[in-house]
Structure 1
Amino acid sequence: MAQDSSSFSRRRFLGWGGAGTAAVLLGTGALGGESASAYTLKKAGLFTLGVASGDPAPDGFVLWTRLAPDPIAADGLGGMPAKSVKVDYEVATDERFKHIVRRGSAVATPELAHSVHPEIRGLAPSRHYFYRFRAGNEISPVGRTKTMPAANSNPHSLDFAFASCQAWQDGYFTAYDHIAEDDLDLVVHLGDYIYEYELTANNKRGATPPPQLGTEAKDLARYRLQYSFYKLEAPLQKAHARFPFIHTLDDHEVCNDWAGDTVLMGRNPNPDPVEFAKRKAGAFQAFYENLPLRRSQIPSGPHIRLHRRLSYGRLADFTMIDTRQSRDIQACSYGNGTGRTTNCDERFDAGRTILGDEQRRWILDGFSRSRARWQVLGNQVPMGETDWDPGPGKDVWVDPWDGYVADRNKLLGAAQDRHVRNLVVITGDRHQAYAWDLKRDFADPNSPTVATEFVGTSVTSGGDGADIDAVGKTFLAANPHMKFYSAQRGYVRVNVDRERWKSDFRALPYVSKPGAPITTRASFVVEDRKPGVTPA
């Protein structure tokens, strides 16, 4: 049966407007599957892109799949006809589906690239479930997922991983093979799930991609094709089928270093605002179509709601933020094309923001209301200061929070003033791994440590990497708050209990060929009510 169709008022349905509204509701199962045409599928291999689950709640989660018998068809539509197709789903407590607890149907429409996002409710908290889809005469691979603990419960511990930055052209997605083998409750992906760049034979895998991938993604069809190609990676499909994911995006899901309505540098500088709005609309729609996101994340043209909060009982709150859509343009002409700048007074301007006033208030109000022991801030770009100058000067990148100093100070200062308990920021973007203390004001050497940040390296971006390279030596000398650096590829595995947080930096020796082993390069802990990192 369809799930929760009563929650959609006619007024809200009409308020979304047009075929796009109907496609979303059909794809979530809110209108049931009876609206699908009686089209008989003639192609096999519908589930080439796998299955996934995401944004878990105490009573459910969102499921995802996308029908694509020809996933790299040049039009981005996966080889599907321009017809709607009924997709059935089942959720069970066992892998053999002898004890089915939910059945329903959604409709895969051409408007959403034949993706479906059924939202499942009414399940038990803190429990594993198995799910699968059926379309035509074909059954999908089986996925496993898990609900969050009950809202007022006090879980003993939480295990999760976070990852980011997976450029196909830079190497193999081996990190996901190892993530899938971990014993986790969920995975957080912090952005750069795809890169918009053209894919050619000039790549670090030594492979030759299909020619239809040889242009940069700038419109909906091309973004769809990029997601399809990335999602064919078996390790990525394995991890998605194993754990629920919490997703946000950063810049490369659209284009490099975009800020609000502007792109200042890269290969697409200062685009026409109307054209860039169309590009964002296509990028955001493809993001939604290809990931396990709820209907609250369906984009409205060039806008998408990414900030949201998910609770793991009273142990931890995940606050996912958006540092792209509401930010001011990067300071000081973005370092005149280098991305870095010295002596840039503009980055200190009190009115400059990376969050926007509304989102900052939402974050801080949530902190104040929360009863969780740990506040986990899912953040795209590094918040801590990254100084390249070991001397008295400051040489910093201005795309991350170093370009928005006043906003950083407002957030961290308010968190301390409101006595926020155990604020830990998890971050992607940098292709390097850091463990460091977050200061209330990095300009003041005596400023107190008020929070902790763990920056995860990339899954592949940057190629094989190294451990302590020349950049790392510079950073460790210039940034006393930095306690760890590595430029190897991998991810971060986290264990949280009521007394301490432990981050394991999981590192791969190479990604230029598949099958790399993994080791724990270093581990750091944060003690309850003691901000800052110490070696484990």
Structure 2
Amino acid sequence: MALSRRTLLLSSAAVGAAGAASVWPLAASAAPYRGPLRADPFTLGVASGDPEHDGFVLWTRLAPTPLADDGLGGMPSRDVPVHWELAADARFRRVVRRGVAVARVAAAHTVHVELHGLPPAREYFYRFKAERYVSPTGRTRTAPAPWASGGTLAMSFVSCSQYEHGYFTAYRRLAEDEPQLILHLGDYQYEYGPDTYNIPGGNPRDHQGPETVTLANYRQRHAQYKSDPDLQAAHAVAPWAVVFDDHEIENNWADEIPEQPDPNFLARRAAAFQAYYENMPLRRTSIPRGIDMQLYRRLHWGRLATFHMLDTRQFRDDQGCGDGYKDCPAATDPARSITGARQEKWLLDGFHRSTARWDILGQQVFFGQRDNNAGPAKVVSMDSWDGYAASRDRITRGWVDAGVRNPVVLTGDVHAHWADELKLDYTDPTSRTVGTELVCSSITSTGDGVDVPTGQHPWAAWNPHLRFYNNQRGYVRTTITKDAMTADFQVVPYVTRPGAAVHTRATFVIEDRVPGLHQVADNPTPGGTSALRSGGDLGAATVRQESERP
């Protein structure tokens, strides 16, 4: 009997039609289950993640009513067998693996299929089936073999997608680029209730449910985000590697310390971590244990690139001097850490063992120095690496001492595009550059934004290592080869209504063994409004958006 399929979330309509009919074999290992599902449970799409040279994770979640208040997606309170297929072609004529996973009530009917033993550097297509319903098709791939040194990697990275602040058009445009790997660097979802975190002119759409505190709240919020078709398209086009920042729990939390006093914070943290794991294509090594979750890890793309995915929230000391931008003695206290001692040692050991051409840190908050005061006092963000300067110094000196060939830091959080050069001594503008930082803007957070035709932030006048700034929404698209890493800063002119086109605002190249930035393109948006017209107000606006509080 032929089974109809939902529209594929791939860019090619021909590919979408190719697998429209297929017969799924019923595996003998399927768990017993009675009672039909009454509606399509694949409303949240599919995803894959954490690619290795011989496998990856496949993900889906069953939720016929995704915004149900109890967070269970309208599913019956019974475990459900879910069949999966992995094929070498989009028509599923060459199926290479198939099996059955159980979507359990205790895990909100999520499915994680962790595959091993596949050939390296191969593209695959996958799908799921629950009873008579078949999921969209996703595309994924294995990484190159550990000894492979050549080739090209198309990698894009994103962060900060506040659902209320706009439409996820940038996710759609990213999917249309068809990258091989996507990094999400945090603030995948936001915790606020409706009418709490508002942009000028009002939010174009609202969160469902109250501020997220309980497991049901977080499950419902993740389901609302994953219901978005543009986000589904980005998940379906390539494997993801994800790390959280603060809003996956609450604004500006630090280890076991909430932003505001909350006797129930640890229970909230445990609930948020469980929902985060349930809704992300993570390996079983990241299954939370109460309030703890193993998120920092490495991904290897042959010998071309090693991605050190960091966790700068779970082990940090509390922000100094009450958070915000401060001239604060705690910022230079050598006893303070943003990574914790164990993660710091893990990272430094990884630098010494690395044989990669490019060592890339995928992490959350601004790494390089951003002093917002032109005078002698150093006024910096306590929530970023500036608030943990000794911690930053140990990491930077660590890659220098280890002889890391090409260190590059990738960052999210600040809702704007930045590019900067990293120093051992930021007080000396002539000190040598020892690394490079690329910062992606938000997908939607803080609304439409404005173009900055000069490509310069006012702070660059006394922070000359800050080489580029733009305050529009978007993502960063990179191309990594043995010889260079090219970064395209992609922007959309608006997010408060759907359908915007994407534009390459600027392009920078980092050459092999030459830390720092070489700009090869600068393309101010035609008709763009300069954010510099308000003079010093730009800096104030930037500070407010980083504080994340309305």
Same fold (TM over 0.5): yes
Give the CA deviation at 1:207: 5.0
- 8 Å contact kept, 1:163–1:457: yes
- 8 Å contact kept, 2:455–2:470: no
SS of the equivalent of 2:395 reads helix
Distance 1:121 1:507 in 2: 37
State how 1:439-478 maps to structure 2 within 5 Å. Answer: 439-468=423-452, 473-478=457-462
2:394 maps to 1:403: no
- 8 Å contact kept, 2:204–2:497: no
Distance 2:251 2:475 in 1: 22
State how 1:344-355 maps to structure 2 within 5 Å. Answer: 344-355=328-339
2:216 maps to 1:231: no
Distance 1:406 1:209 in 2: 41
Q: In the alignment, which of 474, 477, 501 is matched to residue 490 of structure 1? A: 474
Q: In the alignment, which of 277, 290, 294 is matched to residue 283 of structure 2? A: 294
Corresponding residue for 1:271?
Answer: 262
Distance 1:251 1:505 in 2: 24
Q: Match for 1:286: what amino acid?
A: A
State how 1:151-300 maps to structure 2 within 5 Å. Answer: 151-200=146-195, 207=204, 209=206, 213-264=208-259, 269-272=260-263, 275-300=264-289
Distance 2:93 2:454 in 1: 57
More off after superposition, 441-450 vs 382-391: 441-450
Per-residue displacement from partner, 1:163-214 (whole Å, max 9, x unpaired)? 000000110000011111113111000000000011359676755647xx24
SS of the equivalent of 1:263 reads coil
The CA RMSD over aligned residues, in Å, is 1.8
- 8 Å contact kept, 1:126–1:147: yes
- 8 Å contact kept, 1:40–1:136: no
Per-residue displacement from partner, 1:81-111 (whole Å, max 9, x unpaired)? 1110000100000111111100111100011
Distance 1:428 1:78 in 2: 30
2:125 maps to 1:130: yes
Q: Match for 1:521: what amino acid?
A: R
Distance 1:414 1:214 in 2: 45
Give the CA deviation at 1:135: 0.5
State how 1:66-85 maps to structure 2 within 5 Å. Answer: 66-85=61-80
- 8 Å contact kept, 2:357–2:482: yes
Per-residue displacement from partner, 1:411-464 (whole Å, max 9, x unpaired)? 101211111110000000000111100111323444321110001100000100
- 8 Å contact kept, 1:33–1:106: no
TM-score scaled by length of structure 1: 0.89
Give the CA deviation at 1:488: 0.4
2:101 maps to 1:101: no
Distance 1:520 1:392 in 2: 37
Corresponding residue for 2:366?
Answer: 382
Distance 1:532 1:290 in 2: 37
Question: Identical aligned pairs, as a percentage?
Answer: 49
Give the CA deviation at 1:154: 1.4
- 8 Å contact kept, 1:126–1:149: yes
Corresponding residue for 2:42?
Answer: 47
Corresponding residue for 2:307?
Answer: 318
Distance 2:371 2:455 in 1: 11
Q: Match for 2:511: what amino acid?
A: E
Corresponding residue for 2:59?
Answer: 64
Distance 1:473 1:104 in 2: 53
Distance 1:410 1:463 in 2: 36
Distance 1:505 1:287 in 2: 28
- 8 Å contact kept, 2:178–2:237: no
Corresponding residue for 1:341?
Answer: 326
Give the CA deviation at 1:41: 2.6
- 8 Å contact kept, 1:149–1:155: no
- 8 Å contact kept, 2:190–2:247: yes
Corresponding residue for 2:517?
Answer: 533
Distance 1:237 1:438 in 2: 35
Distance 2:346 2:85 in 1: 36
TM-score scaled by length of structure 2: 0.87
Q: Match for 1:66: what amino acid?
A: R
- 8 Å contact kept, 2:362–2:410: yes
Give the CA deviation at 1:391: 3.1
Distance 2:82 2:233 in 1: 21
Corresponding residue for 2:16?
Answer: none
Q: Match for 1:333: what amino acid?
A: G
2:294 maps to 1:305: yes
Give the CA deviation at 1:123: 1.3
Q: Match for 1:439: what amino acid?
A: K
Distance 1:199 1:415 in 2: 44
Give the CA deviation at 1:472: 5.6
SS of the equivalent of 1:413 reads helix
Give the CA deviation at 1:396: 1.0
SS of the equivalent of 1:160 reads strand
The number of aligned residues is 492
SS of the equivalent of 2:510 reads strand
Corresponding residue for 1:329?
Answer: 318
